[in-house]
Amino acid sequence: MRTLAIGDIHGCSAMLDDLLAAVQPTPDDRLVFLGDYVDRGPDSRGVIDRLIALKQNPNVVCLRGNHELMMARSRRDKSEYKMWYAVGGMQALASYGPAPGKMGSLADVPERHWRFLEAECVDYFETDSHIFVHAGVAYDVPMEEQDEGALFWDFFDPDAPPNHVSGKTVICGHSSQKSGNILDRGTAICIDTFAYGGGWLTCLDADSRAFWQVNLLGKVRIGQL
């Protein structure tokens, strides 16, 4: 069984399809999605549909990103809605439009999607050797005591971060690597490679450190950290 982490998708459903076709995960592989499924790219709705379908396999884990937090909170808080709309919510709602070219609203988001965002995504995931999280961790704090800032909002330290108190390697997204290259600092690895902005969507095998990437043109590149 492989443990495969997939970085920030941001509404790029066609890239997700291309990446899965390149990786060819089996039902026995564990897929860990690192959050930020919605906003900025053209098809947030399609990404959530695909993840809901994939989650019929219990080996699929979907983490919550800060964009999922904002979208869920926007449902009940007008100030949260304004912030979310300005940082990608507009593109997300466009994907829920009732007809092509028609802007959608929060009322157009299916209840099944709200349930996925609010109840089925998790804040982090651990194996014996790795911690998977959207943004990062406070390295001297046990995972059950991490705060929201570390898990969802703080950006990756470009210098070599210290080992987490658990001794496990951290795999995260959130901090866009506009070069399109994975940022590997040994103790922590960032695989947000700027998919929506013209970069690559990345899948990393946590154990073998093999990786697959696809871009908007459907090009695939495969490598090893």
Domain ranges within the chain, ordered by starting residue: 3-224
Is-contact 118 72, C-beta < 8 A? yes
Element (H, E) at 184: strand 183-184
- Residue by residue, DSSP assigns 29-50 as SEEEE-S--SSSSS-HHHHHHH
pLDDT score, position 129: 98
Which residue reads 């690895």 in tokens?
189
pLDDT score, position 186: 92
Cα 94 from chain centroid? 20
In the CATH scheme, what architecture does the domain 3-224 have? 4-Layer Sandwich (3.60)
pLDDT score, position 100: 79
Q: Is the dihedral of CA 129, 131, 137, 141 positive or negative?
A: negative
Global confidence as pTM: 0.97
If one counts every other C-beta atom within 10 angstroms of the C-beta of residue 217, the result is 8
Element (H, E) at 114: helix 111-115
pLDDT score, position 157: 83
Distance of alpha carbon 196 from alpha carbon 22, whole angstroms = 18
Positions of the chain with pLDDT lower than 70, given as ranges: none
